[in-house]
Amino acid sequence: MPSEPIQKLLILQEKDRVRIDLEALLHSIPREIAANREKIAREEERAREAKEAVTQLEKRRNALEGDIEAWNAKIIRYRNQQLEVKKNEEYQALEHEIEAARSAISGLEDEEIQVLVDIDTGQAELESAEQTFRKSIAVLEERIAKLQTREKECREELAAAAREVESARAEAPSEFLEVYDRLLRHVPFPVAVPLREKKCQGCHLKVSAGVESDARQGKEIATCDSCGRLLYCE
Ligand SMILES: [Zn+2]
């Protein structure tokens, strides 16, 4: 069984462990929230793009209809001109123009059919995208709300943990505390570790005979020759 000072230090270390874990969690939560917000922004962008694609197709259809109308108006004009011309060559030239206009209209109508098909496909895609969008946004929003609640709880838990650390520190022997605090700044947690089979359980290296004897007696502060952690015997 470890000596009394070590026992008190181990109590402090356990309190510090809770505090450190909570601090890490509090550090990670805002990043998680930000990542979820980014996902929402990406989903919104995708939905906007799907909508924009349909809008562009509708614009194209309107433009095509305008063009077809213009060609039809030309055909009427040519027909009227044909009534007025005297020479056969002039009549034939207009007939030629009318044929060209009809061929142009036919090409535009073919394109319009394709655009109408694309609009149908685009609209179906948009509807499905919007459904997925609403679902995933709901999931993401819920996740964010949970994280925010957890963050609030964490802050309260951390305040309580800090108070526990303070009372454990008041109990811990000051000479051990000094070494412990220094280690806390320089060595990865935990800083007080057991000695098993002459090996430090922090860095897993063998310690010297003197250190082993100190750790066994538990009166002097024993620290690992390699990593510097506080050592104790169970
Ligand atoms: Zn060590």
Please tell me the distance between residue 214's alpha carbon and the centre of ligand 1 in angstroms. 15
Please tell me the distance between residue 198's alpha carbon and the centre of ligand 1 in angstroms. 11
Is residue 75 predicted with pLDDT exceeding 90? Answer: yes
Give the pLDDT of residue 151: 97
In this prediction, residues 92-105 reach a mean pLDDT of 97
The secondary structure element, H or E, covering residue 18 is: helix 4-84
Q: Is 187 helix (H, G, I), strand (E, B) or coil?
A: coil
- In the chain, where the domains are located: 14-170, 173-234
Which pLDDT band, with edges at 50, 70 and 90, does 99 fall under? very high
pLDDT in tens, 18-36: 999 999 999 999 999 999 9
Question: Could you tell me the fold of the domain covering 14-170?
Answer: Helix Hairpins (1.10.287)
Which pLDDT band, with edges at 50, 70 and 90, does 57 fall under? very high
Inter-residue contact 165 to 16 (CB < 8 Å): yes
Cβ-count burial 195-221 (b if 16+ within 10 Å, e if not): beeebbbbbeebbeeebbebbeebeeb
Q: Is 191 helix (H, G, I), strand (E, B) or coil?
A: coil
Mean pLDDT of all residues belonging to the chain: 94
pLDDT in tens, 182-196: 999 999 999 999 999
Is residue 1 predicted with pLDDT exceeding 80? Answer: no
Please tell me the distance between residue 234's alpha carbon and the centre of ligand 1 in angstroms. 16
Is residue 218 predicted with pLDDT exceeding 80? Answer: no
Please tell me the distance between residue 63's alpha carbon and the centre of ligand 1 in angstroms. 78
Please tell me the distance between residue 231's alpha carbon and the centre of ligand 1 in angstroms. 8
Please tell me the distance between residue 163's alpha carbon and the centre of ligand 1 in angstroms. 30
Please tell me the distance between residue 176's alpha carbon and the centre of ligand 1 in angstroms. 17
Inter-residue contact 151 to 25 (CB < 8 Å): no
In this prediction, residues 85-111 reach a mean pLDDT of 96
Please tell me the distance between residue 194's alpha carbon and the centre of ligand 1 in angstroms. 10
